[in-house]
Amino acid sequence: MHTIHSRIHSHDDADRFWRKQYSWLAEQGYTLRPKYMTSWAKTGMAMTSAGVAVPDLKQGVAIDAIRTIDGKLVALKRVCVDASVGEFSLACYFNALKYSARNHCVPVFDVLPIPDEEREVLIVMPLLRTFDEPRFETFGETIAFFTQLFEASGIAHRHIMMDATPLYPHAFDPLNPTMRRDWQGKAKPRSRTKQPVRYYFVDFAHARSGHTWDSSVTQARYAADVYDLGDMLRTNFFNKYDGFEFMYPLLADMLEPDPAKRPSAERLYAHFLMARAQLSSAKSRSRLIERGGEPALTAAYRNCRHWLLTVGRLLLGVPAVPDA
């Protein structure tokens, strides 16, 4: 959001801040890690709720917490709000999230004014992770991802994250995503095909075109966002995997050297839907293969495994494109 800016703190300052807020946050319904309890001994180790010692990894202006009412893992972020326009910006933010199904701004669950801090609040959001971790397995999964990108017209696409909650039956540790948060084993993700996820845009301090409700957004600035999105798709998908030829015309429009000739948001979305409609179910269910191919034995194993998974999903009626 343009009216909200993160403050930079040293790790020690951040620890002191969160330790100070531990009891107050508990009253608000959010539980931090035990190491932030004021009575916690400084041993250089943190303890999980299961009592397992793990390295005391430092955190900054954002931190994970448990929402006590339902046990949901959330993120708390300390932000500075411009008093003159911050409240209006947040109001617009909430209204857009409530009434627009195509809005993929990260939802804000709560806004907590920090005691004794006039211009600072904590915003409560879902705990997100990078959109491509774990990796995409099928073309259908990438199509679901592209759909959410293109339907979210009019906003910047620089920072894209994913609410991976459906993928993890046991919450992952945000300080070490390969591990469960209770450190009782590895965090093992499920398939996006069977557990659709939702993607969000975050960190609007770097956005060029602003929010979808900002009528002053210029075409030139939006065109720059279209190019950024196209460049991200080219880097992470078209240059990495084989088989995306069906998207080449759309990508060429997005990377058009003349900004004035790049497609509008609605035109971009319409062209994508046309390309999506032409894909067969077999194509959508086929697995992604990185450019350059795979060793023969690796390819044989992965093809066999994927074929078995695909048959099982077909029998269960799982859609080829996991729209969320």
Cβ-contact 230, 272 below 8 angstroms: no
Cβ-contact 168, 296 below 8 angstroms: no
Q: How far lies 61's CA from each of 11, 77, 107, 321, in Å?
A: 9, 6, 18, 36
Average pLDDT, the chain: 81
Residues 6+ apart with CB under 8 A from 142: 136, 237, 288
Residue 126 is classified by DSSP as E
Q: Where are the domains of the chain?
A: 4-127, 130-316
Strand 72-81 relative to strand 110-113: parallel, antiparallel, unpaired?
unpaired
Q: How far lies 226's CA from each of 63, 218, 271, in Å?
A: 31, 13, 14
- pLDDT bin (cut points 50, 70, 90) of residue 201 is confident
- Cα(4)–Cα(89) distance, rounded to whole angstroms? 9
Query: What letter represents residue 122's amino acid?
Result: L
Residues 269-294 pLDDT 10s:
999 999 999 999 999 999 999 998 89
Cβ neighbourhood burial of 111 (10 Å; 0-12, 13-18, 19+): middle
Give the residue, 18 or 83, on which the prediction is more confident: 18
* Confidence check: pLDDT of 226 > 60: yes
Query: What letter represents residue 208's amino acid?
Result: R
3-state helix, strand, coil in the chain (%, to 5): 40, 20, 45
Residues 43-76 pLDDT 10s:
555 545 444 444 444 446 788 999 999 989 999 9
* Confidence check: pLDDT of 95 > 60: no
* Confidence check: pLDDT of 10 > 80: no
Give the distance, in angstroms, between the CA of residue 103 and the centroid of all CA atoms in the same chain: 13
In the predicted model, what is the mean pLDDT of residues 100-115? 81
Query: What letter represents residue 154's amino acid?
Result: G
- Cα(106)–Cα(126) distance, rounded to whole angstroms? 8
Confidence (pTM): 0.83
Domain 130-316, architecture per CATH: Orthogonal Bundle (1.10)
- Cα(203)–Cα(311) distance, rounded to whole angstroms? 40
* Confidence check: pLDDT of 255 > 70: yes
User: Which CATH topology does 4-127 take?
Assistant: Phosphorylase Kinase; domain 1 (3.30.200)
Confirm whether 4-127 and 130-316 share one CATH topology. no
Q: What is the pLDDT of residue 207?
A: 47
In the predicted model, what is the mean pLDDT of residues 161-172? 92
Tell me how long the chain is: 324
- Cα(293)–Cα(308) distance, rounded to whole angstroms? 21
Q: Which of 24-28, 35-39, 55-59 has the lowest mean pLDDT?
A: 55-59
Q: What is the pLDDT of residue 99?
A: 52
- Cα(108)–Cα(111) distance, rounded to whole angstroms? 7
